[in-house]
Amino acid sequence: MIEANGLKKSFGEIEAVSDVSFTAQDGRVTGLLGPNGAGKSTTLRMIYGLLKPDAGAIRINGTDVHSDPLPAKSQLGVLPDGHGLYARLTAREHLLYFGELHGLDQASREARAQSLIDQLDMSGIADRKVEGFSQGERMKVCLGRALIHSPRNVVLDEPTNGLDVASTRKVREMINRLRDEGLTVLFSSHLMHEVSRLCDDIVIINQGKVIASGTPDEIRSQGGNDQLEDAFLNLLEASI
Protein backbone atom coordinates (compact mmCIF):
# COMPACT_ATOMS: atom_id res chain seq x y z
CA MET A 1 0.00 0.00 0.00
CA ILE A 2 1.26 3.45 -0.90
CA GLU A 3 -0.07 6.44 1.02
CA ALA A 4 0.65 10.00 0.00
CA ASN A 5 -0.47 12.72 2.34
CA GLY A 6 -0.52 16.48 1.67
CA LEU A 7 2.51 16.50 -0.65
CA LYS A 8 4.03 19.83 -1.61
CA LYS A 9 7.10 20.48 -3.70
CA SER A 10 8.55 23.64 -5.23
CA PHE A 11 11.60 24.17 -7.41
CA GLY A 12 12.64 27.72 -6.71
CA GLU A 13 9.71 29.91 -7.65
CA ILE A 14 7.83 27.16 -9.44
CA GLU A 15 5.39 25.13 -7.40
CA ALA A 16 5.34 21.73 -9.08
CA VAL A 17 3.12 19.98 -6.55
CA SER A 18 0.93 21.98 -4.19
CA ASP A 19 -1.51 19.48 -2.71
CA VAL A 20 -1.47 15.79 -3.51
CA SER A 21 -2.96 13.08 -1.30
CA PHE A 22 -4.11 9.62 -2.30
CA THR A 23 -3.86 5.98 -1.33
CA ALA A 24 -2.96 3.14 -3.68
CA GLN A 25 -4.35 -0.12 -2.34
CA ASP A 26 -3.01 -3.66 -2.51
CA GLY A 27 -4.39 -5.75 -5.37
CA ARG A 28 -5.49 -2.66 -7.26
CA VAL A 29 -4.08 -0.63 -10.11
CA THR A 30 -4.07 3.07 -9.37
CA GLY A 31 -3.57 5.45 -12.27
CA LEU A 32 -2.12 8.89 -11.79
CA LEU A 33 -3.60 10.85 -14.65
CA GLY A 34 -2.89 14.37 -15.71
CA PRO A 35 -1.75 16.52 -18.62
CA ASN A 36 1.94 17.05 -19.29
CA GLY A 37 3.50 19.17 -16.57
CA ALA A 38 0.74 18.44 -14.06
CA GLY A 39 3.24 17.20 -11.47
CA LYS A 40 2.98 13.45 -12.03
CA SER A 41 6.68 12.73 -12.28
CA THR A 42 7.47 15.01 -9.35
CA THR A 43 4.87 13.20 -7.24
CA LEU A 44 6.27 9.80 -8.19
CA ARG A 45 9.83 10.91 -7.51
CA MET A 46 8.79 11.94 -4.02
CA ILE A 47 7.17 8.54 -3.58
CA TYR A 48 10.29 6.63 -4.53
CA GLY A 49 12.41 8.88 -2.41
CA LEU A 50 14.53 10.85 -4.88
CA LEU A 51 12.86 14.14 -4.11
CA LYS A 52 12.15 15.32 -0.60
CA PRO A 53 8.70 16.85 -0.24
CA ASP A 54 8.53 20.37 1.22
CA ALA A 55 5.53 19.19 3.22
CA GLY A 56 3.55 16.02 3.63
CA ALA A 57 4.51 12.39 4.05
CA ILE A 58 4.66 9.17 2.07
CA ARG A 59 4.31 5.72 3.55
CA ILE A 60 5.06 2.42 1.81
CA ASN A 61 3.31 -0.39 3.70
CA GLY A 62 3.41 1.91 6.71
CA THR A 63 7.12 2.78 6.44
CA ASP A 64 7.91 6.48 5.98
CA VAL A 65 10.00 7.02 2.84
CA HIS A 66 11.94 10.00 4.11
CA SER A 67 12.61 9.13 7.73
CA ASP A 68 13.32 5.47 6.96
CA PRO A 69 14.42 5.44 3.31
CA LEU A 70 16.19 2.10 2.91
CA PRO A 71 13.46 -0.20 4.34
CA ALA A 72 10.80 1.79 2.49
CA LYS A 73 12.69 1.66 -0.81
CA SER A 74 13.28 -2.08 -0.58
CA GLN A 75 9.50 -2.59 -0.67
CA LEU A 76 9.22 -0.60 -3.89
CA GLY A 77 9.83 -1.61 -7.46
CA VAL A 78 10.21 1.41 -9.68
CA LEU A 79 10.20 2.11 -13.38
CA PRO A 80 11.40 5.70 -13.31
CA ASP A 81 11.21 8.43 -15.89
CA GLY A 82 14.80 7.72 -16.95
CA HIS A 83 15.11 4.43 -18.80
CA GLY A 84 18.87 4.39 -18.96
CA LEU A 85 20.67 1.08 -19.31
CA TYR A 86 24.35 0.10 -19.34
CA ALA A 87 25.13 -0.50 -23.01
CA ARG A 88 27.88 -3.02 -22.35
CA LEU A 89 25.93 -5.25 -19.96
CA THR A 90 23.50 -7.94 -21.09
CA ALA A 91 19.82 -7.90 -20.17
CA ARG A 92 20.39 -10.68 -17.66
CA GLU A 93 23.35 -8.88 -16.10
CA HIS A 94 21.13 -5.84 -15.54
CA LEU A 95 18.63 -7.94 -13.62
CA LEU A 96 21.37 -9.68 -11.62
CA TYR A 97 23.13 -6.41 -10.77
CA PHE A 98 19.95 -4.86 -9.41
CA GLY A 99 19.10 -8.07 -7.59
CA GLU A 100 22.50 -7.94 -5.95
CA LEU A 101 21.96 -4.31 -4.96
CA HIS A 102 18.73 -5.41 -3.31
CA GLY A 103 20.66 -7.96 -1.31
CA LEU A 104 19.37 -11.13 -2.99
CA ASP A 105 21.69 -14.11 -2.71
CA GLN A 106 23.08 -15.63 -5.87
CA ALA A 107 20.69 -18.57 -6.17
CA SER A 108 17.53 -16.54 -5.62
CA ARG A 109 18.54 -13.67 -7.90
CA GLU A 110 19.42 -16.08 -10.69
CA ALA A 111 16.13 -17.93 -10.31
CA ARG A 112 14.16 -14.70 -10.13
CA ALA A 113 15.97 -13.25 -13.16
CA GLN A 114 15.18 -16.36 -15.18
CA SER A 115 11.52 -16.27 -14.19
CA LEU A 116 11.26 -12.57 -15.17
CA ILE A 117 13.01 -13.28 -18.46
CA ASP A 118 10.36 -15.91 -19.17
CA GLN A 119 7.46 -13.73 -18.00
CA LEU A 120 8.62 -10.76 -20.06
CA ASP A 121 9.23 -12.94 -23.08
CA MET A 122 12.86 -11.99 -23.45
CA SER A 123 14.74 -15.28 -23.52
CA GLY A 124 15.97 -14.48 -27.03
CA ILE A 125 17.69 -11.30 -25.95
CA ALA A 126 18.55 -12.09 -22.34
CA ASP A 127 22.23 -12.70 -22.93
CA ARG A 128 22.81 -9.99 -25.49
CA LYS A 129 24.36 -6.66 -24.62
CA VAL A 130 21.58 -4.08 -24.45
CA GLU A 131 23.35 -1.81 -26.92
CA GLY A 132 21.11 -1.71 -29.96
CA PHE A 133 17.95 -2.93 -28.18
CA SER A 134 14.67 -1.54 -29.47
CA GLN A 135 12.51 0.70 -27.26
CA GLY A 136 10.30 -2.26 -26.40
CA GLU A 137 13.24 -4.47 -25.51
CA ARG A 138 14.75 -1.76 -23.36
CA MET A 139 11.43 -1.33 -21.56
CA LYS A 140 11.38 -5.03 -20.77
CA VAL A 141 14.83 -4.81 -19.21
CA CYS A 142 13.73 -1.78 -17.18
CA LEU A 143 10.61 -3.59 -16.00
CA GLY A 144 12.64 -6.65 -15.15
CA ARG A 145 15.13 -4.75 -13.05
CA ALA A 146 12.28 -2.95 -11.26
CA LEU A 147 10.73 -6.28 -10.29
CA ILE A 148 13.86 -8.35 -9.58
CA HIS A 149 13.42 -8.19 -5.79
CA SER A 150 9.72 -9.19 -5.91
CA PRO A 151 8.48 -5.89 -4.46
CA ARG A 152 5.00 -5.62 -2.95
CA ASN A 153 4.54 -2.16 -4.44
CA VAL A 154 5.24 -1.13 -8.01
CA VAL A 155 5.53 2.43 -9.30
CA LEU A 156 5.64 2.96 -13.05
CA ASP A 157 6.25 6.38 -14.57
CA GLU A 158 4.60 6.51 -18.01
CA PRO A 159 5.37 2.85 -18.72
CA THR A 160 4.00 2.80 -22.27
CA ASN A 161 5.56 6.04 -23.41
CA GLY A 162 7.18 5.61 -26.81
CA LEU A 163 6.26 1.94 -27.19
CA ASP A 164 4.66 0.30 -30.20
CA VAL A 165 1.32 -1.50 -29.98
CA ALA A 166 2.73 -4.95 -29.28
CA SER A 167 5.05 -3.74 -26.53
CA THR A 168 2.28 -1.63 -25.00
CA ARG A 169 0.14 -4.72 -24.82
CA LYS A 170 2.95 -6.63 -23.08
CA VAL A 171 3.26 -3.91 -20.48
CA ARG A 172 -0.51 -3.95 -19.89
CA GLU A 173 -0.45 -7.72 -19.45
CA MET A 174 2.36 -7.32 -16.95
CA ILE A 175 0.42 -4.71 -14.98
CA ASN A 176 -2.64 -6.97 -14.87
CA ARG A 177 -0.55 -9.89 -13.73
CA LEU A 178 0.98 -7.85 -10.92
CA ARG A 179 -2.45 -6.81 -9.74
CA ASP A 180 -3.64 -10.39 -9.83
CA GLU A 181 -0.68 -11.31 -7.64
CA GLY A 182 -2.06 -8.84 -5.09
CA LEU A 183 0.53 -6.10 -5.55
CA THR A 184 -0.03 -2.39 -5.28
CA VAL A 185 0.46 -0.91 -8.74
CA LEU A 186 0.73 2.84 -9.17
CA PHE A 187 1.35 4.21 -12.60
CA SER A 188 1.22 7.56 -14.29
CA SER A 189 -0.02 8.39 -17.73
CA HIS A 190 -1.32 11.29 -19.72
CA LEU A 191 -3.42 8.95 -21.88
CA MET A 192 -7.00 8.65 -20.70
CA HIS A 193 -7.77 5.55 -22.75
CA GLU A 194 -4.85 3.70 -21.22
CA VAL A 195 -5.87 4.59 -17.70
CA SER A 196 -9.49 3.69 -18.34
CA ARG A 197 -8.48 0.24 -19.58
CA LEU A 198 -6.21 -0.68 -16.74
CA CYS A 199 -7.13 1.15 -13.61
CA ASP A 200 -9.25 0.23 -10.67
CA ASP A 201 -8.72 3.67 -9.17
CA ILE A 202 -7.91 6.94 -10.88
CA VAL A 203 -6.27 10.01 -9.37
CA ILE A 204 -6.46 13.05 -11.62
CA ILE A 205 -3.98 15.79 -10.98
CA ASN A 206 -3.65 19.14 -12.62
CA GLN A 207 -1.35 22.04 -11.79
CA GLY A 208 0.03 20.16 -8.81
CA LYS A 209 -3.34 19.41 -7.18
CA VAL A 210 -5.58 16.36 -7.03
CA ILE A 211 -8.78 17.50 -8.72
CA ALA A 212 -10.65 14.21 -8.64
CA SER A 213 -10.17 10.64 -7.55
CA GLY A 214 -12.10 7.42 -7.39
CA THR A 215 -13.11 4.43 -9.50
CA PRO A 216 -13.74 5.02 -13.22
CA ASP A 217 -17.49 5.11 -12.49
CA GLU A 218 -17.05 7.70 -9.78
CA ILE A 219 -14.90 9.80 -12.14
CA ARG A 220 -17.64 9.56 -14.81
CA SER A 221 -20.28 10.85 -12.44
CA GLN A 222 -17.99 13.57 -11.02
CA GLY A 223 -17.21 14.72 -14.56
CA GLY A 224 -20.85 14.50 -15.59
CA ASN A 225 -20.23 12.43 -18.71
CA ASP A 226 -20.51 8.72 -19.56
CA GLN A 227 -17.39 8.93 -21.66
CA LEU A 228 -14.37 8.86 -19.35
CA GLU A 229 -12.33 11.07 -21.66
CA ASP A 230 -15.02 13.75 -21.74
CA ALA A 231 -15.48 13.50 -18.00
CA PHE A 232 -11.71 13.98 -17.61
CA LEU A 233 -11.72 17.08 -19.81
CA ASN A 234 -14.74 18.49 -17.96
CA LEU A 235 -12.94 18.01 -14.66
CA LEU A 236 -9.78 19.65 -16.03
CA GLU A 237 -11.73 22.67 -17.25
CA ALA A 238 -13.61 22.94 -13.99
CA SER A 239 -10.35 22.95 -12.02
CA ILE A 240 -8.86 25.97 -13.77
Residues making contact with another protein (CB under 8 A): 11, 45, 48-52, 69-74, 76, 78, 80-89, 93, 97-98, 100-102, 129, 142, 145-146
Q: Which is nearer to another protein, 135 or 227 (CB)?
A: 135
d(CA 209, CA 180): 30
d(CA 80, CA 41): 9
Q: How far from chain centre, in Å, is Cα 44? A: 7
The least CB distance from residue 50 to another protein, in Å, is 6
Q: Which is nearer to another protein, 69 or 216 (CB)?
A: 69
Q: Which is nearer to another protein, 71 or 224 (CB)?
A: 71
The least CB distance from residue 166 to another protein, in Å, is 24
Q: Which is nearer to another protein, 146 or 199 (CB)?
A: 146
The least CB distance from residue 11 to another protein, in Å, is 8
The least CB distance from residue 189 to another protein, in Å, is 19
Query: Cα–Cα distances in Å, from 19 out to 31, 74, 105, 173, 226?
Result: 17, 26, 41, 32, 28
Q: Degrees (nearest 5) of the Cα angle 49, 240, 232? A: 75
Q: For 121-146, b where at least 16 C-beta lie within 10 A, e where not — what string?
A: ebeebbeeebeebeebbbbbbbbbbb
The least CB distance from residue 38 to another protein, in Å, is 17
The least CB distance from residue 85 to another protein, in Å, is 6
The least CB distance from residue 42 to another protein, in Å, is 10
d(CA 149, CA 109): 8
Q: Which is nearer to another protein, 83 or 209 (CB)?
A: 83
